[in-house]
Amino acid sequence: MRSLTRVFALAIASLLAWPLQAQTPRYGGELVFPVPSEPPSYDGHREETFGLIHPIAPFYNTLLRVDPFDKGGTKPAPSLAESWTTSSDGKTYTFKLHKGVKFHDGSEMTSKDVKASYDKIIFPPPGVGSTRKGQYADVVAVEAPDPYTVVFRLKHPSGSFIASLLSPYNFIYKAEILAKDPHWYETHIMGTGPFIFVEHVKGSHVVGKKNPNYWDKGKPYLDGFRAVFMRDSAAQVAAVRGERAQIQFRGFTPAARDDLVKALGNKITVQESPWDCILLVAINHKKKPFDDPRVRRALTLALDRYEGSKALSRIAIVKEVAGVQVPGTPFATPPDELAKLAGYWHDAEKSRAEARRLLKEAGVPEGFSFTFMNRGIPMPYEPLGVWMIDQWRKVGLNVTQRVIEPAAYFGSLRKGEHEVAMDFQCGYIVEPDLDMYKFLSSSRNPANYGYYEDPVLDKLYDQQSQATNVDERKKLIREFEKRVLDEQAHYLMTLQWHRIIPHSSRVHGWTITPSHYLNNTLDTVWLSP
């Protein structure tokens, strides 16, 4: 009897201790995850696709990173730089680097490596591609006064400079290698990251193993990872469901989530978040009758976004009704204020009646037909296309869809021959300067596929960019939003994407953020048995 009591006591004690144990990271295990697309090269400075980040980011570090536990995906955190200071005039940023950081080949990382990497990004030598060069147009020089200090000098102060350093693509490379061959990193991998490159079998997978000399002592927890390239989304879901893979870092559809939860119960944990991606409708102001703001307003008034949100969030990766900022973020317009803008009224009947009235006033006949150009990617372009065409039908517009395959899509947009087309915007961080840049006049933004000039809008943008007072900035952003979405209806916002990551409950230490480009270094991730 006494032994039985002992057993009981032991059982109770271990039960009480269990939740605590679950929080302590456990070492070991290989994380397997599918990646929907394969990167064309290994150079983060050159590529723009998440297909590079997911399998390759674990081999590198960046100067700064977004805090991996910040659900909002905006908080800067130290990475290779352990601290930083800004000068009083806001034009000089000084970073102190960690000591004792080793590249995978054993050599030490110092400030010259950071300088060489950022020189490659900001001032690429001829023949070397850097896709984010334009983001650092304000930077005058990058200096390395001593081995553990890096200094950035700017032309004028910028509220978004730190945010620009958080880009997950800014891998820190070795200066000596870059000096010998600036293209070396396109076809080779050698960084300071928590994992060491093992192999990349083309068309199949990438394998990384734990870096035993990682500078962040105690990390990583995993023994390694395996990124498997799987294009078909049904196959990715099946892999997670069959427990061959533990997580997919981009996002699954609501149907996949429901299937996984039904099949695996509490072996699956679901993390959800608004996604810093949205599809917009570019209305070509060069094509009649879309030069008439009444016609454009009618197009946005016809869309019942609230019904759309309810319905489409069941079948597509969209959900929230959004203005120019991701809902729930600091500068986003609160829902009741948003409801005052055209296209966001809660009364759908009133909205459609107004749309019809405007069309009639503008002289657009009933049954007027136009072509909507869409991009050939199934999710969520297709369902949003079907939804919008149906909504426009309800106000007497006869729309046919012309789908262009992704490789040729933006080439077609740049030709400027479209009438109404789907455009898209994805960011790695929520920041009004980055998110609202799209709406600037064509003369300032060549990627404006509405092809319009609006100096009032441009002025509002500049004002908000330089505003130091947060409330003042919010006010300016609201004005900007009102002009671009309501008064002039230059562009239409559809629905904010919604990121759904159902993953094996064995995966811990990974927090979802609004961006699928963030939090992929995998140093904080661990597996429970």
Partner 1 sequence: MGYYILKRLLAMIPTLLGVAVLIFLLLRVIPGDVVEARYLTQGSQFQSQDLMDQERQKLGLDKPLWKQFTAWMGGLAHLDFGLSMWTSAPITEEIKLRFALSLQLALMASTIATCLAIPLGILAAIKQDTWIDYAVRVFTIAGLATPSFWLGTLMILGMLIIFKWVPPMVFTPIWVNPWDNLALLIWPALAVGYRYCAVGTRMMRSTMLEVLREDYIRTARAKGLWLKLILTRHALKNAILPVLTVISMEFAFLLGGLVVTEQVFNLNGLGMLFVEAISHRDYTLTQALVMLVATFFLVINFAVDIAYAWLDPRIHYR
Partner 2 sequence: MAASAQTLEELARHAEPRWPWLAAVANFARRRPLGAVGAGLVLLTAVLAATAHLIAPYDPLANDYGAMLAAPSAAHWLGTDAFGRDVLSRIIYGSRTALTVGLGASLLGASLGSLIGVTSAYFRGRVDLLAQRVMDVFFAFPVIVLALAVVAILGTGAGNVILAIATPMVPRCARVVRASALAVREMPYVDAARASGFRHQRIILRHMLPNVMAPILIMATAFLGEAILLEASLSFLGLGVQEPTAAWGLMLRGAAVEFAESAPWMAIFPGLAISLAVFGFNLFGDSLRDALDPRLRTQ
What are the residues binding partner 2 (CB under 8 A)? 233-234, 253, 255-256, 258-259, 307, 310-311, 314-315, 374, 376, 378-379, 382-383, 385-387, 389-390, 393, 401-405, 408
Cα–Cα distance for residue pair 222/298, rounded to 1 Å: 54
Contact 380, 308 (CB under 8 A): no
How much of the chain is in helix, strand and coil states, percent to nearest 5? 35, 25, 40
The binder of 160, among partner 1, partner 2, none, by C-beta within 5 to 8 A per type, is: none
Per CB under 8 A, the list member of 6, 244, 262, 402 interacting with partner 1 is 244
Contacts of 80 (CB under 8 A, 6+ apart): 61, 62, 63, 64, 97, 98, 101, 109, 114, 172, 192
Name the β-bridge partners of 292: none
Of 424 and 510, nearer to partner 2 (C-beta) is: 424
Q: Is 234 in the site for partner 1 (CB under 8 A)?
A: yes
The count of chain residues that interact with partner 1, using the rule CB under 8 A, is: 54
Contact 138, 155 (CB under 8 A): yes
Count of alpha carbons within 13 angstroms of residue 473, beta-carbon side: 16
Q: Is 77 in the site for partner 1 (CB under 8 A)?
A: no
In the stretch 185-224, what mask flags binding to partner 1 with x, by CB under 8 A?
A: -xx-------------xxxxx-------------------
Sheet hosting strand 195-201, strand order edge to edge: 30-35, 224-229, 205-210, 195-201
Q: Whole-number minimum distance, CB 233 to partner 2, in Å? A: 8
Q: Is 412 in the site for partner 1 (CB under 8 A)?
A: yes
The binder of 383, among partner 2, partner 1, none, by C-beta within 5 to 8 A per type, is: partner 2
Rounded to a whole number, what is the distance in angstroms from the first to the last CA of the chain? 33
The binder of 438, among partner 2, partner 1, none, by C-beta within 5 to 8 A per type, is: partner 1
Per CB under 8 A, the list member of 49, 313, 329, 511 interacting with partner 1 is 49
The binder of 387, among partner 2, partner 1, none, by C-beta within 5 to 8 A per type, is: partner 2
381, two tokens: 């372009």
Q: Whole-number minimum distance, CB 204 to partner 1, in Å? A: 5
Residue 276 DSSP SS3: strand
Largest pairwise CA distance in the chain:
93
- Phi then psi for 219, rounded to 5 degrees? -120, 160
285, two tokens: 């102001």
The binder of 256, among partner 1, partner 2, none, by C-beta within 5 to 8 A per type, is: partner 2
| Residue corresponding to tokens 């509220």 | 159
Q: Is 231 in the site for partner 1 (CB under 8 A)?
A: yes
Name the β-bridge partners of 226: 32, 207
In the stretch 425-444, what mask flags binding to partner 1 with x, by CB under 8 A?
A: xx----------xx------
Cα–Cα distance for residue pair 71/379, rounded to 1 Å: 24
Start-end of H helices in 24-65: 50-56
In the stretch 8-37, what mask flags binding to partner 1 with x, by CB under 8 A?
A: --------------------------x---
Q: Whole-number minimum distance, CB 203 to partner 2, in Å? A: 18
Q: Whole-number minimum distance, CB 401 to partner 2, in Å? A: 5
Of 241 and 356, nearer to partner 2 (C-beta) is: 241
- Phi then psi for 81, rounded to 5 degrees? -90, 125
Contacts of 293 (CB under 8 A, 6+ apart): 487, 488, 489
The binder of 230, among partner 2, partner 1, none, by C-beta within 5 to 8 A per type, is: partner 1
Residues that bind partner 1 (CB under 8 A): 34, 40-41, 48-49, 126-127, 129-135, 186-187, 201-205, 228-232, 234-235, 238-239, 241-242, 244-245, 405-414, 423-426, 437-438, 445-447, 449
